Amino acid sequence: MPVSTVACAIAGDVDGAHRCTPSATQRGRSLDQGGESVDIKAATKSYGAVRALDNVTLNVAPREFVSLLGPSGSGKTTLLGILGGFVQPSSGSIHFGGRDVTFLPPHKRDIGVVFQNYALFPHMSVGENVAFPLRARRIAKADWAARVSAALAMVGLSGYEARGIAQLSGGQRQRVALARAMIFEPRLILMDEPLSALDKQLREAMQIELRELHKRIGATIIYVTHDQREALTMSDRVAILKDGRLVQIDRPERLHDHPADSFVASFIGEASLLPVRRIDAGSVALGPAVLKSAREIPDAEALMLAVHSEKLLIANGVADATLNCLTGKVTDIVYQGESLRVFLQLADGTFLSLRQPSHYQASRLLPPVGGELTVTLHPEDTIVVPKARE
């Protein structure tokens, strides 16, 4: 891709009203200089009595891919809007590469933005859509074709310049929106659920594409999603939001295996959460059963055991005193293609679920529904977390 001489400011509104003017302070950047660092300091946004965002502090390194993950209404879009300059924080500040941009308008922020609904112009061709920021920024027409073809090549759409938007599939439209967001080679790209309109297969293919693209272009990406698998697949780190607050930011495997509390544990992976009582630093009581944990049991008032369904293994008659054992009655077996989800009711009435591969060698170990089953949980996989506030 050609080295950019004018920095990007594609501040796209959802309605497609792009306001693009060159930013004097940001001329002459190229991707060789890497992505932008982003520092969010105590950002708060209130709408009347609603705290959409509550004192969020978050530092994103240059070239990092960070996802904002949380249920609907947790403040993801508000935080992205504050980064893009579309939403003014009630308090706190935003810094890009050490510069305070809190009060900078969107078109001066040197960012690319991609939204869920693409915000493409349906009456324009692919090439015209991708070139739109160039037109708005008054770049010489002679330079357009090369820039547009480079941006389209980046997203695997070489030669699509003349196509109409209506002739494209959903995935291709999303790629056009990406190409447009990247045409000025921004050092920071913001994306708000860009794949959620696509069907599952295409979404998963695009996740891998975006991952690859991120490695190639070297921009910092901040990506909003409510889909945990999507966040885990693509991100260097994932920030978990709940009720406007940042609960935890960590690498995907850390979130999965070291959740900060029961909210994160319930949101990442497929976990059953059971109330337990602390016995000492290395063990808890689950009803009458004692479970050992290789991790330090937190000294909190209310504790929950988070049991990921893939971590429970069928005991298969072999006694191993180093493992935790749980016995219950199989209440349901759900066939889900490559695996079976098995629901187990323990003696105290609580439920667990485990996953068993659906192939013969594994599924033959299961009793029929109504039968008794003993499963083991390794102390290394025995995760006890403080119970989150409701």
Q: Which does 78 bind (CB under 5 to 8 A by kind): Mg ion, ligand ADP, none?
A: ligand ADP
- Residue 215, CB-side half-sphere exposure with 13 Å CA sphere: 6
C-alpha R_g of the chain: 25
Interface residue with ligand ADP among 16, 62, 73, 282 (CB under 6 A) is: 73
Q: Does 336 bind ligand ADP (CB under 6 A)?
A: no
Q: How far is the CB of 241 from ligand ADP (least distance, A)?
A: 7
As a whole number of angstroms, the distance between CA 162 and CA 75 comes to: 39
Interface residue with ligand ADP among 23, 26, 67, 74 (CB under 6 A) is: 74
**DSSP reduced 3-state for 243:** coil
Q: Does 77 bind Mg ion (CB under 5 A)?
A: yes
Q: Which does 75 bind (CB under 5 to 8 A by kind): ligand ADP, Mg ion, none?
A: ligand ADP
For 189-238, the DSSP string reads EEEESTTTTS-HHHHHHHHHHHHHHHHHH--EEEEEES-HHHHHHH-SEE
For ligand ADP, the closer CB: 241 or 304: 241
Question: From the centroid of its chain, how far is CA 357?
Answer: 27
As a whole number of angstroms, the distance between CA 268 and CA 385 comes to: 13
Record the tokens describing residue 15, joined without a space.
């309605």
| Contact (CB, 8 A) for 184 and 22 | no
| Total interface residues for ligand ADP by CB under 6 A | 11
What are the beta bridge partners of residue 91? 44
Helix (H) or strand (E) holding 285, with range, is strand 283-286
Interface residue with ligand ADP among 70, 97, 194, 328 (CB under 6 A) is: 70
Binders of ligand ADP in range 33-62 (CB under 6 A): 47, 50, 52
Q: How far is the CB of 56 from ligand ADP (least distance, A)?
A: 11
Q: Which does 355 bind (CB under 5 to 8 A by kind): ligand ADP, Mg ion, none?
A: none
Q: Which does 52 bind (CB under 5 to 8 A by kind): Mg ion, ligand ADP, none?
A: ligand ADP
For Mg ion, the closer CB: 77 or 382: 77
Closest C-alpha to 264, from 57, 69, 80: 69
As a whole number of angstroms, the distance between CA 150 and CA 291 comes to: 58
Q: Which does 72 bind (CB under 5 to 8 A by kind): Mg ion, ligand ADP, none?
A: ligand ADP
Q: Which does 12 bind (CB under 5 to 8 A by kind): ligand ADP, Mg ion, none?
A: none
Interface residue with ligand ADP among 12, 22, 75, 89 (CB under 6 A) is: 75
For ligand ADP, the closer CB: 185 or 192: 192
Q: How far is the CB of 46 from ligand ADP (least distance, A)?
A: 9
Q: Which amino acid is at 272?
A: S
As a whole number of angstroms, the distance between CA 217 and CA 199 comes to: 26
Give the footprint of ligand ADP on this chain (CB under 6 A). 47, 50, 52, 70, 72-78
Give the footprint of Mg ion on this chain (CB under 5 A). 77
